[in-house]
Chain A
Amino acid sequence: MLSYIAKKVFRAVLTIWIAVTVTFFLLRLLPADPTLLVIEGDMTPEMQESLRARFGLDKPLHIQYGLYLAQLVSGDLGVSFRQLAPVADIILARLPWTLLLAGSAFLVTLLVGIPLGVHAAVKRGKAVDKVVQFFGTTSNAIFVPSMAILLLVVLGANLALFPIGGSIDPDTRGVAAYLSLFHHLALPLFSLVLVQIGPYALTLRTNMLEVLGEDYIKSARARGLSQRRVVWRHALRNAILPALTLMGLQLGTLVGGAVLTETIFAYPGVGRLIYESVQQLDYPVLQGAFVMLAFTVVVANLLTDMIAMLLNPRIRT
């Protein structure tokens, strides 16, 4: 079991290293130049050189890479080109918003998606099942920005039920502040959940159908256990395992969705930070954000693997 864990951890570290390396070189292979982003093109070659030196872009690529790795290992994410502030501070200031949005989207997705899948499996072929199947396949195909703008126009502008963008009304205090927080969270949360929920519902449905056909379910039924107990305790416990793996995998799309959602809803999270940093070619911030995301996704996958191992002894060997 220890060797299993060690193998998984080693693979996680390797993945993070690859992510760091690919990000580093990808940014530098862009046919673009961060020193050119000024209002006026009026800039002498000397000024450009001095900027390049200040950004550390004047050194050979492999030296830059070596310096960056050394810096990372010592826990330093570097200093932003544009903001001149430590990258770690910049990201940490935005992180709580993304955790709130992506975290609650993740929870709501599970709390709604799993029961939907279970119901669809139990009522196989009935109306519920058809609706879930239709919805499950379309959910993944929704284009987040169009969905987001549609929600804003209809529910925000026309019906005035929700605020247009932002994360909280700065003039609220105490309970009102929390209400304002949730009020602003509702639409971006809804958009994210909508595109996330399909795969969970469908996976759960398929797994449940499989499990419900197993002998031990038949025998449980034969023992006279109630339908509820059979479905929710005996079947779900086994059907949920593959969904665990899905959680780790879906985290990546959750982050991708957050970039778009945060941008359209003017939500101040890390996703939007990435969007802005791409426009400004702020390499250190981009690298820092990607390292952090890679780390999160890899650790989440590691954790789901561990949980799966605890739940399913067969994996251990």
Chain B
Amino acid sequence: MGAKIKIRGKAKDGIAKMKALMPHPMETGTRRDPDGNVIPAHYIETVSCFKNDAEIMTAHWGPSVSKNPYFAFRVKNAVAGDRIKITWRDNTGDTSEGELTLK
């Protein structure tokens, strides 16, 4: 399991502005270590966002998303008490998630 996703967000007037930080190396697979060996690609491929268990958004990423990805989006029809969950899966099959109940 990868490092936990950090989520922040608040519902106001039916709209929730969400921000997420995902600690992850996002290695491109083209860099070399000091000994000249290629560092294998290791990056998040799919991010899924859920509101009360219904998927509302999916992000597909390549390795050119920056290290420790930042992701912000706005949810419609959001009220206090709604649960927002974000999960990711990387190219090695590793996964992580984070969840927040809107206030």
A in complex with B: no
